[in-house]
Structure formats: structure tokens, C-alpha cells
């Protein structure tokens, strides 16, 4: 199947710093990527939809100024957690869509963020 | 508001027996349903899907059943194997939209 690479897989940072997470589709072009967040033993919650060349669409309750999303190319989307705080500690997962609407979604391996 | 619900947080089954995972949804716009398997600290991997035009889809040991009138679907794994131990997520979307709504997951433990 198609490969989506997510980096880093694990990061610890100090409160107040910013962290960037990258999501790359390695063998296909993805006009749409999604960012999810998962708390322990809970569901994956969609944070935002990232469209190449346009602004991301954020789900209700997600602070767009805190979670900056950039989708500069058809193979790369980045999520930057700005001024991270301990409550931002979570597992973040990206997914990339292959094909036009209704096509297959492929997930990255996730990033565990721990903010001290 | 949780549009996809998995009411059983965990399931324990003996190796070789059948695992049955259940999922309910509330949004009538959903017409495409997927099951994902997830190991700790990894992203979900796609298992099997079903369109609302079908009521059953089978792929090897995995079968998904869809009851549209009840807004209910289930995943059957038979026979269950130790490697099946993982968290299983039910997900749903409308067929022309990539946005997935996930259930809370069911942790399956297959006992030897």
C-alpha cells in the first residue's frame, strides 16, 4: 500500500516552545491531508483538513493560531504546535488522501508529543 | 457529539474462536464504513470497508456486516489469532468526502 511518513515519532519539549510535525506522502500526491489527535484510550479526533495551496479547515474547538498547518506541496503537510503546554501532550496522527473525493486514506505512524 | 460509537471498550477471545466487534452510527449521511487496526504508538492501518449498497463484505478472516436500517455494523474475525490483539476502530464518512468520524475503539485481546 501507499506510504505516509510522519516525523518525528516522539518528541519531548519544554512548555512554551513550538514543535513542528511533518507528514509526507512518499509515493503519491496528496491534495488533502488530515491531522488527528488521540488521547489515551480515546478516539481519533479530527483537528483539521489540510488542502495543498490553501488554508486549512479547522474543526470546531481547535485553535488555528495554536495548531498551525501548512500544506506547501502535494507531498508535505506540517503541523506546528505553537507555545506548547502540558495539556497539548497527545498522540498526533496525519493521514493523506489518495485520489479525488472518496478515495483511500493512508495514515502516518503518529507522533507522541510530551510537553514538560 | 459522537457520531460513531463503539460501546464495548474491550473484548477478550480465545485463539481460534470468533471475535465480533460492534459499531453504531447516528449520521444518516454516512454511506461508507471502514475498520482500522491500531497498535500502540502507531498509526491506524486499514482493514476492511463496506459501502452502503452492500450488507456484507468479506476479506479473508475479516467480514464486515452492515445493517443500514439499524445504523449498525459489525466486524467478524474468524479464526482469531494472537496477532489480532490490537485496538480496532470503526470509522464512517460520506462517499464523496474524505473526512472520517471514528469510534472510540475496542481493544481486542486474543488469548492463546
H, E, C per residue of chain B: CCCEECCCCEEEEECCCCEEEEEEECCCCCCEEEEEEECCCCCCEEEEEEECCCCEEEECCEEEEEECCCCEEEEEECCCCHHHCEEEEEEEECCCCCCCEECCCEEEEEEC
Mean pLDDT of A80-103: 86
Shortest CB distance from A107 goes to which of B4, B44, B99?
B44
A97 and B98: CB-CB below 8 Å? yes
Mean pLDDT of chain A: 90
- Give the pLDDT confidence of A18-29 residue by residue, as tens digits: 999 999 999 888
pLDDT of residue A110: 93
Chain A: nearest CA to B20, how far in angstroms?
A: 19
Mean pLDDT of B29-37: 94
pLDDT of residue A98: 79
Q: In the structure, what pLDDT confidence band is assigned to residue B61 with cuts at 50, 70 and 90?
A: very high
Q: In the structure, what pLDDT confidence band is assigned to residue B65 with cuts at 50, 70 and 90?
A: very high
The percent of residues in chain A predicted with pLDDT above 70, rounded, is 95
- pLDDT value at A102 more than 70: no
Shortest CB distance from B102 goes to which of A44, A108, A112?
A44
pLDDT of residue A28: 87
Q: In the structure, what pLDDT confidence band is assigned to residue B43 with cuts at 50, 70 and 90?
A: confident
The percent of residues in chain A predicted with pLDDT above 90, rounded, is 69
Q: In the structure, what pLDDT confidence band is assigned to residue A101 with cuts at 50, 70 and 90?
A: low
pLDDT of residue A1: 64
Mean pLDDT of B55-69: 97
Chain A: nearest CA to B41, how far in angstroms?
A: 7
B89 and A43: CB-CB below 8 Å? yes
pLDDT of residue A93: 95
Chain A: nearest CA to B80, how far in angstroms?
A: 22
Amino acid at each position: 500500500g501507499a506510504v505516509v511518513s510522519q516525523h518525528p515519532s516522539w518528541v519531548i519539549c519544554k512548555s512554551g516552545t513550538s514543535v513542528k510535525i511533518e507528514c509526507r506522502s512518499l509515493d503519491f500526491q496528496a491534495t488533502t491531508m488530515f491531522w488527528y489527535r488521540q488521547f489515551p484510550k480515546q478516539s481519533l479526533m479530527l483537528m483539521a483538513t489540510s488542502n495543498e495551496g490553501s488554508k486549512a479547515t479547522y474543526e470546531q474547538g481547535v485553535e488555528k493560531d495554536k495548531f498551525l498547518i501548512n500544506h506547501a506541496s502535494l507531498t508535505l503537510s506540517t503541523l506546528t504546535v505553537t507555545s506548547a503546554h502540558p495539556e497539548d501532550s497527545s498522540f498526533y496522527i496525519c493521514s493523506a488522501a489518495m485520489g479525488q473525493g472518496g478515495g483511500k486514506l493512508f495514515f502516518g505512524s503518529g507522533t507522541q508529543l510530551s510537553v514538560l | 457529539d459522537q457520531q460513531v460509537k463503539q460501546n464495548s471498550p474491550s473484548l477478550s477471545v480465545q485463539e481460534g474462536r470468533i471475535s465480533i466487534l460492534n459499531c453504531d452510527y447516528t449520521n444518516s449521511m454516512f454511506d461508507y464504513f471502514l475498520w482500522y487496526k491500531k497498535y500502540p504508538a502507531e498509526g491506524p492501518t486499514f482493514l476492511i470497508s463496506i459501502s452502503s449498497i452492500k450488507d456484507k463484505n468479506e476479506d479473508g478472516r475479516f467480514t464486515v456486516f452492515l445493517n443500514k436500517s439499524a445504523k449498525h455494523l459489525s466486524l467478524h474475525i474468524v479464526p482469531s489469532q494472537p496477532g489480532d490483539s490490537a485496538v480496532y476502530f470503526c470509522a464512517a464518512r460520506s462517499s464523496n468526502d474524505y473526512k472520517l468520524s471514528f469510534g472510540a475503539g475496542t481493544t481486542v485481546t486474543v488469548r492463546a
